[in-house]
A = this chain, B = another copy of it.
Amino acid sequence: MKIHIVKIGGQLINDRNVLKSSIKHFCELQGHKILVHGGGKKADLISKKMGIHQKMIEGRRKTDRDTLDIVVMTYAGMINKNIVALLQYYHCNAIGLCGADGNCMRSSLREKKTIDYGYVGDLSHSSINSSFLTCLLKHQITPVLCPITHDGMGQLLNTNADTIASYIAISLAKYYTIDLHFCFEKKGVLRDMKDSESYFHTMDFHLFQKIKKNHLISHGMRPKLENAFIALQHGVDHVSIGMTKYLNEVNNKTILCL
């Protein structure tokens, strides 16, 4: 059995029309598939409207109690359920899940070493309930996962969506052929941020290390690439970074390899 795991984020989430076309492209993928989505800018907008000041630590948002409520509402509520409703419209029988649902993603509160990130959950290699996810797939149901996990003690936690996609891919790679796609608004990993056509057609681990060392990777791309290579190193068959409209094509994307 082959499973496509598609992560969508960034601009694909922020605009309803862009989201709609991304969802349509996802639906055109044949066979078993899983969608993982990020939060885009929605949570920031809601925080602003509610007058909640977002605490930032080294460029990353601190998930305090108020922020946790907002990300749970936004990711598991508004974004997740609108995506599922769109999938149903396109005749894809989907189910929206956070980590607590069916105990599908269990995480641990990130340790407070030098920095306190707040209610952030880190995944481990035993976090993913792969038998539950494959049971859904076998019933022709497409799981749609939002970046909220739980600790098993009643606490919801905020978790990076790229990491979730990577860990799900790894947990299923033991039993199935996995195609993992990280999708966003660009054609792939760009050499030159000002030139949207300047994407790498392939990138191996050596090249990644080189451009990372020379600080040639944008802030948002670095964790995506880290997660992509971790997936490849743990048995995931194919990993790519690019647009949803080329999901079904071999070209027009950055293909990662070891």
Taking CB atoms, residues of chain B closer than 8 Å to A103 are 88, 93
Q: Are A81 and B139 in contact (CB under 8 A)?
A: no
Q: What is the chain B residue whose CB lies nearest that of A157?
A: B85
Q: How many A residues touch B, CB cutoff 8 Å?
A: 41
User: Assuming the A-B contacts A81-B76, A85-B150, A156-B82, are A102 and B95 also in contact, with contact meaning beta carbons closer than 8 angstroms in the complex?
Assistant: yes
Q: Are B84 and A101 in contact (CB under 8 A)?
A: yes
**A154: Cβ under 8 A from any B Cβ:** yes
A182 → chain B, closest Cβ, in Å? 24
Q: Are B88 and A154 in contact (CB under 8 A)?
A: yes
Residues of A within 8 A of B (CB): 20, 46, 49-51, 69, 72-78, 80-82, 84-86, 88-89, 93-98, 100-103, 135, 139, 141, 148, 150, 152-156
Q: Are B154 and A89 in contact (CB under 8 A)?
A: yes
Q: Are B100 and A98 in contact (CB under 8 A)?
A: no
Q: Are A85 and B156 in contact (CB under 8 A)?
A: yes
A33 → chain B, closest Cβ, in Å? 16
A51 → chain B, closest Cβ, in Å? 7
A102 → chain B, closest Cβ, in Å? 5
Taking CB atoms, residues of chain B closer than 8 Å to A73 are 46, 73-74, 77-78
